Amino acid sequence: MQTMKATVFVEPGRIELREKPIPEVGPLDALVRVTTTTICGTDVHILKGEYPVASGLTIGHEPVGVIERLGSAVQGYEEGRRVIAGAITPSGWSNACLCGYCSQDGAGTNHGWKPLGGWRFGNTIDGCQAEYVLVPDAMTNLAPVPDALSDEQVLMCPDIMSTGFSGAERAKIRIGDVVAVFAQGPIGLCATAGAKLSGASVVIGVDRLAGRLVIANRLGADHVIDASQVDPVDEILRLTGGRGVDVAIEALGTQQTFEAALRVLRPGGTLSSLGVYSTDLKIPLDAFAAGLGDHQIVTTLCPGGKERMRRLMSVIESGRVDLAAMVTHRYKLDDIAAAYDLFGHQRDGVLKVAITP
């Protein structure tokens, strides 16, 4: 039995690189040799024990790699092809998928829906911070990478870009909209880029770190607000002449940003929520116009599947956005502990780290 190195959750506070067997390939699976991957904020939650996963699970959900072996029932791919798979790996055949909600994939349940069911890598099955990863429902999930694109250029597609862009898409941004994006971490930055790409005429980026606001400007923000210096609600209402924004995107997952997003919405506006919250949320009566403001609140879990990946890579290939600049640090898989240490403590202006096995 061959083995490989894999980053394993052991217990809260402890993630280790271990030897594990290279997985068996089932009929619908593909084994992918990982060439580049990265660490997500969610992985840090897992490390801290804030999001529980099974002890011994390999974590990581953003794979770029090469097809090593294909399951017996997989058609339309060849070994050796460079591919990515989304952080969310839907089955394609659950009722949720067939209804357009792939991230809530309930394949195998009796009614076909399961909250977050499409998120499997590093959550319910072994993930990709390893030398190899087994991709389930391979025909639904393997997306060939265009030759012209490097690993790092597509490294944001599986999660950060798909999530951030979906914040703009689900809000149905229209040409000429004014959009505020609360928090400019990796997902917020992608939401900023996605809002601009969707035709917003004014994009306002909010964060408390000056360094991130610089990048926000580069990725499409017309105005940036340093929330450590001024009140962003006041500032946004001032910028919009008291009208408020058409769309507010929440990309952090706190009561404070959620509430601020609601307070800057014009009547009839849309709050598009991407953050992972850790407490109950409060909707203030006044900001909600007592329920009579024609407001909409939409939430989105990262869309996955190969068609989604294909689209996102086409955006990269067209040069519409350049997200490779978000890779600020690089580590070998052997040094992933150091990468977690840097990323977990958000040191040295880190945005995303590239991990290469």
Residues 6+ apart with CB under 8 A from 122: 43, 46, 53, 57, 58, 59, 60, 61, 128, 129
The binder of a second copy chosen from 164, 300, 333, 350 (CB under 8 A): 300
Q: Which stretch binds a second copy (CB under 8 A): 57-65, 125-133, 315-323, 325-333?
A: 315-323
122 near a second copy, judged by CB under 8 A: no
Q: Cβ of residue 42: shortest distance to a second copy, in angstroms? A: 10
C-alpha distances (whole Å) from 292 to each of 253, 268, 269, 287 are 25, 9, 12, 10
The residue among 92 and 344 lying less far from a second copy, judged by its C-beta, is 92
CB of 309 to a second copy, least distance (A): 10
- Among 69, 124, 277, 356, which residue sits at the site for a second copy (rule: CB under 8 A)? 277
Q: Which is nearer to a second copy, 7 or 103 (CB)?
A: 103
Shortest reach from residue 248's CB to a second copy, in Å: 14
In the complex with a second copy, the residue whose CB is nearer, 3 or 201, is 201
Neighbours of 81 (CB within 10 A): 15
| Nearest CA-CA partner of 5 in 15, 14, 18, 16 | 18
Answer yes or no: are the C-beta atoms of 325 and 186 closer than 8 Å.
no
**Among residues 176, 210, 229, 238, the one that binds a second copy under rule CB under 8 A:** 176
Dihedral angle sign, alpha carbons of residues 279, 188, 58, 31: positive
Which positions from 86 to 105 touch a second copy by CB under 8 A, shown as an x/- string?
-----xxx-xxxxxxxxxx-
27 Cβ neighbours under 8 A, 6+ residues apart: 71, 72, 73, 74
Q: Which one of the spans 15-23, 151-159, 317-325, 339-347 is the region binding a second copy (CB under 8 A)?
A: 317-325
9 within 8 A of 47, measured Cβ to Cβ: yes
Interface region with a second copy, contact rule CB under 8 A, candidates 9-17, 183-191, 198-206, 343-351: 198-206
- Residue 232 CB partners (closer than 8 Å, separation 6+): 180, 182, 206, 225, 260, 264
Residue for token pair 């790409």: 197
Spatial distance between the Cα atoms of 22 and 17, rounded to a whole number of angstroms:
14
Q: Binding-site residue total for a second copy (CB under 8 A)?
A: 95
Residues 33-92 contacting a second copy, CB under 8 A: 72-73, 75-76, 91-92
Question: Across-strand partners of 223?
Answer: 204
The distance of closest approach from Cβ of residue 122 to a second copy in the complex, given in angstroms and rounded to an integer, is 15
- Candidates 16, 307, 322, 334: give the one binding a second copy (CB under 8 A): 307
Q: Which of 281, 324, 325, 328 touches a second copy (CB under 8 A)?
A: 281
According to CB under 8 A, which residues from 199 to 238 bind a second copy?
199, 201-202, 222
